[in-house]
Structure 1
Amino acid sequence: MYLFYLTLFLTAFSGCLAKEEDVLELTDSDFESRLREIDTALVMFYAPWCGHCKRLKPEYAKAAEDLIRNDDPVILAKVDCTEAGKETCNKFGVSGYPTLKIFRSGEFSQEYNGPREAGGIVKYMKAQVGPSSKELNSIDDFENFLKAENDVSVIGFFEKETDLKAAFMKLADKLREKVRFAHSSYKDVLEKQGAKDAVVLFRPPHLANKFEDDSVTYSGKAVTGDINEFITKNYHGLVGHRKPDNKQDFQNPLIVAYYTVDYVKNAKGTNYWRNRILKVAKQYKDKYNFAISNKDEFQHELNEYGVDYVKGDKPIVFARDANNKKFIMKDEFSLEVLDKFVKDLLDDKLEPYLKSEAIPDSNDEPVKVAVGKNFDEIVTNNGKDTLIEFYAPWCGHCKKLAPTYDDLAKQLIDEDVAIVKMDATANDVPSPYDVRGFPTLYWAPKDSKDSPVRYEGGRELDDFIKYIAKHATSELKGYDRKGKEKKKTEL
């Protein structure tokens, strides 16, 4: 086994950049035999033509390069389900691509449900090996643990077995995939930290600043949930580094500064701007959450604010309030401008930014067109039950649905029902509608537009009519509640 690891290590070490050879290629003939030699492996089942697989491929290779050097190595492997790995993919029930699964000593262990970016894959998989909390038996262990990763460390200091230690260890098991935990009962470590029964969150050195402490000590009860809340509250500090693999940690109301955030190539330049944001954030930490993000990694978010390209080195700043409304800091970045922007946000002096196509000159077709600027008029306040389709112009399923949707609108043209469509790629989708794929359809009863229901029924004309006939606030003129067309004598 060690010879196997050594071979893989030397292969990975031979290049400065992540390479495809860092990922172990497996086939039907060697899948079981090779995985049996590996304590922990992550396997990607893929198809060469799959777009999602192509996007994951470089991230997977970067993660493989890092994980092979871990104290407890994790091997990343891949199986081509269209060629030499067909039987293996069938055996493990692979029905979509990419599918990722974790194996231990050749046996399937669990589905991989972690991030799809290199950093997130590394963090998730490192948590799969070794204990959930690393025991620190010397000052060197303690100092090395803090320096080993550019990440937050949560360490428990326990002179003896206590309720706090029990709660800490229980939480470490629960959060091992998200947080780095360690603990120590070593006398010299306890004396160095000045703690005998405490939990301390240490911020990574590259995020050190004069506006907040480098570490925070938990002072609550020996309750797992309370310790979890403490970690969540303090994990990212005043101004967190928001990345694709942790963006879900940053909740509204949120102010994000986008610029060339790069702690590998330009940590000094990155912190130059972050420190200025920190100075403002410290004043408003109880009102808004703050973060910095790399403008290139979040170009899709910039597009949501109508920005295609960021000129210059200075950050641009966007915000979302508690109701998810968007706001743009229009003036060039400075401490004074940022401070005024936050004050104006809090005082409701700013006009929200709304991504919207122009309101149609004419909206006389049976299917009404909603855009960002007229959504309230066409949907929310139209006084009718409404079926609304959120679509994308390039979506094949949307194009297939279009003639049926048009026919539906024609069939119900005299009813108290609105059939509406909206290009969700060119307009902001308002809350509470949640659109993550196309087409997405919602049924919004006229008296409860704040609680629309996702339409999950069939896509044939008859399916739509039966659904609307059943759920309409008032019975339709032309159809009974079962969706049967009424006879002329009934009309």
Structure 2
Amino acid sequence: MFCGKRRSSFILFTLTILLLLTFTISTKATEEDAEIDGHNQESRIDVDNNDDDELEELLAIDEQEEQEGEEPQQQGDQQKEAEVLSKAQRIVLELNTDSSRRVIEENEFVLVLGYAPWSARSAELMPQFAVAANKLKELGSSLVMAKLDGERYPKAASMIGIKGFPTLVLFVNGSSRAYTGGFSGEDIVIWARKRTGVPVIRISSATVAEEFRRMHQIFVLGLFEKFEGPAYEEFVKVATSDNELQFVELNDIAVAKTLFPDIKVTNHFIGIVKSEPERYTAYEGSYEKEKILDFLDHNKFPLVTKLTELNSARVYTSPVKLQVMIFAEDSELKNLTEPLQEVARKFKSKIMFINVDIADENLAKPFLTLFGLEDSENTVVAAFDNRISAKYLLESDPTASSIEEFCLRLVNDNLPPYFKSQPIPNNKDALVLAIVGKTFDELVLRNPMNVLLEVCMIFSIVLENSCSILLTWM
């Protein structure tokens, strides 16, 4: 009996030992597999991390190379601008309450820039003023260039007539004259020289002519056998009256051909030269001041003008009353440049073509708002007839052919004006016609019958629904 119990205990003990050994071996194998898997996983993670690190390193190197490529140019531009400003500081006088009157009274010509530190436009104009100061100094001009912080010295600003910022004022023997020129450095130089007794530059050698051509993007050339006579006198009057263009006079046709290769052999000649595809334009009218000025006004702009803060005033006051404006992203405008130039060439002096960066809120948004397209990101082509304050919109895809057709209809006065409007209603069989913006001209203004018109202002401030009855006689 006891022997059976011992045998049973032994068998149980043996089984227990075997189970423990099996568990131990399995556990050890599992741990080893786990270690191997863990090692493999770590290896994969290390490899992945290494790949990511290498990719990030390559991207960082590319970015650094790009920055290194851009930085020298940016640094060069910044250094050049800093040199211009530094040089101008030694030329431009800093006025205050005590010195303003003295400087103006002691010098024949003084050009004063009134500015304010907080004014963004002042910050834009200051570098251009510095460029002009340096250039005038190089040319030996007697004009004194000065600046006045109008916020810091309000009494001095008031005394010399500065009411806003920035403001340019020219003083001639103590008397102020309003500035009417452009706002680039070159514009300031041209205007200042004309107002201080140098309306025309005389050139007598090909070397000087070559240097002049490199320095000026646009200028007016006058060739005269002698610098006298009625034709020459009218030329000088034009040069004195014009505020924007540099005029040059010559009496040697060989030298003149350096500037205007296609010049004709004649006793007198006037032409305008521009640094763009339509480079040379000869004047063929009579030598009268007003006619020459009109010719210059219609030909001084490029075939397609890019609207900027600096030239906006000139563009808005252009005597060319028909203007076509193309609103698009800069990259798209570059693609449209050549096709637009071809179209513009066909309507030269009749239509002014203007490119506007659609992302520029200051320049583009005010115009786009007129058409309810202020949030548009697509190319928009619009036209304005400033003679009758009418606006037009190209509602088809803007291609070279569609733009040309649009312009042709604009010139021929058969382009329907654009009105902000509700959808055109269906008036078929209606006893009372519903009028919307797009149908107002046809159904009311050009209707051969008398029209009884009820105008409802549903958003009237005075009444919730305000209506008026108008009777139109034809």
> TM-score, normalised on structure 2?
0.59
| Distance in 1 between residues matched to 2:123 and 2:451, nearest whole Å | 48
* AA matched with 1:245: A
- 1:336 corresponds in structure 2 to 401
The answer to whether residue 131 in structure 2 is matched with residue 66 in structure 1 is: yes
SS at match of 1:102: strand
SS at match of 1:249: coil
SS at match of 1:137: coil
SS at match of 1:42: strand
Structure 1 spans left out of the alignment, 5+ residues: 1-10, 359-370, 385-401, 407-412, 419-445, 449-491
1:95-151 alpha-carbon deviations (Å, 9 max, x no partner): 66655421357x344232445677755553354345101111211222332331222
Q: Aligned match of 2:283 in 193, 218, 222?
A: 218
Q: Aligned match of 1:163 in 225, 230, 235?
A: 230
Residues 113, 293 of structure 1: CA spacing in aligned structure 2 closer, same or farther, 3 A cutoff?
same
Structure 2 spans left out of the alignment, 5+ residues: 1-77, 424-435, 454-459
The answer to whether residue 73 in structure 2 is matched with residue 42 in structure 1 is: no
SS at match of 1:281: helix
1:388-423 alpha-carbon deviations (Å, 9 max, x no partner): xxxxxxxxxxxxxx99xx7xxxxxx9xx999xxxxx
Q: Aligned match of 1:245 in 287, 297, 313?
A: 313
Contact 2:115 / 2:122 at 8 angstroms: preserved in 1? no
- 2:157 corresponds in structure 1 to 89
| Distance in 2 between residues matched to 1:284 and 1:57, nearest whole Å | 37
Residues 305, 41 of structure 1: CA spacing in aligned structure 2 closer, same or farther, 3 A cutoff?
farther
Q: CA deviation at 1:258?
A: 3.2
Contact 1:154 / 1:199 at 8 angstroms: preserved in 2? no
Contact 1:254 / 1:291 at 8 angstroms: preserved in 2? yes
Contact 1:67 / 1:126 at 8 angstroms: preserved in 2? no
SS at match of 2:134: coil
The answer to whether residue 265 in structure 2 is matched with residue 195 in structure 1 is: yes
1:154-208 alpha-carbon deviations (Å, 9 max, x no partner): 1111112332112111211121x22211101246425664534333323322x12
Q: CA deviation at 1:316?
A: 3.3
Contact 1:155 / 1:200 at 8 angstroms: preserved in 2? yes
| Distance in 2 between residues matched to 1:328 and 1:302, nearest whole Å | 10
Contact 1:119 / 1:245 at 8 angstroms: preserved in 2? no
The answer to whether residue 245 in structure 2 is matched with residue 182 in structure 1 is: no
Contact 1:198 / 1:218 at 8 angstroms: preserved in 2? no
The answer to whether residue 386 in structure 2 is matched with residue 317 in structure 1 is: no
Residues 81, 357 of structure 1: CA spacing in aligned structure 2 closer, same or farther, 3 A cutoff?
farther
Correspondence 1:58-457 to 2 at 5 A: 58-71=123-136, 72=139, 76-83=145-152, 85-92=153-160, 99-104=167-172, 107-115=174-182, 121=188, 123-151=190-218, 153-160=219-226, 161-175=228-242, 177-186=243-252, 188-190=254-256, 193-205=263-275, 207-208=276-277, 212=278, 214-236=279-301, 238-242=303-307, 243-247=311-315, 248-249=317-318, 251-259=320-328, 273-285=336-348, 288-295=351-358, 296=360, 297-309=363-375, 311=377, 316-321=380-385, 323-343=388-408, 345=410, 351-355=416-420
Aligned length: 356
| Distance in 2 between residues matched to 1:172 and 1:33, nearest whole Å | 32
Contact 2:320 / 2:350 at 8 angstroms: preserved in 1? no
| Distance in 2 between residues matched to 1:198 and 1:292, nearest whole Å | 36
1:41-89 alpha-carbon deviations (Å, 9 max, x no partner): 432445667xxxx243123213213202214466653334454x34433
Contact 1:155 / 1:201 at 8 angstroms: preserved in 2? yes
Residues 260, 168 of structure 1: CA spacing in aligned structure 2 closer, same or farther, 3 A cutoff?
farther
1:362-388 alpha-carbon deviations (Å, 9 max, x no partner): xxxxxxxxx978999xxx99999xxxx
Contact 1:251 / 1:289 at 8 angstroms: preserved in 2? yes
Residues 271, 140 of structure 1: CA spacing in aligned structure 2 closer, same or farther, 3 A cutoff?
farther
SS at match of 1:155: strand
Residues 355, 447 of structure 1: CA spacing in aligned structure 2 closer, same or farther, 3 A cutoff?
closer
| Distance in 2 between residues matched to 1:112 and 1:287, nearest whole Å | 29
| Distance in 2 between residues matched to 1:241 and 1:70, nearest whole Å | 25
Larger radius of gyration: 2
| Distance in 2 between residues matched to 1:14 and 1:344, nearest whole Å | 47
Contact 1:59 / 1:116 at 8 angstroms: preserved in 2? no
Residues 16, 283 of structure 1: CA spacing in aligned structure 2 closer, same or farther, 3 A cutoff?
same
Correspondence 1:12-51 to 2 at 5 A: 15=82, 24-32=93-101, 40-45=109-114
* AA matched with 1:202: I
Contact 2:112 / 2:147 at 8 angstroms: preserved in 1? yes
Q: CA deviation at 1:38?
A: 6.7
SS at match of 1:58: helix
Percent identity reads 22
| Distance in 2 between residues matched to 1:119 and 1:375, nearest whole Å | 48
SS at match of 1:353: coil
SS at match of 1:60: helix
| Distance in 1 between residues matched to 2:380 and 2:154, nearest whole Å | 48
User: Which has the larger share of helix?
Assistant: 2
SS at match of 1:292: strand
1:464-484 alpha-carbon deviations (Å, 9 max, x no partner): xxxxxxxxxxxxxxxxxxxxx
Contact 1:356 / 1:372 at 8 angstroms: preserved in 2? yes
The answer to whether residue 122 in structure 2 is matched with residue 57 in structure 1 is: yes
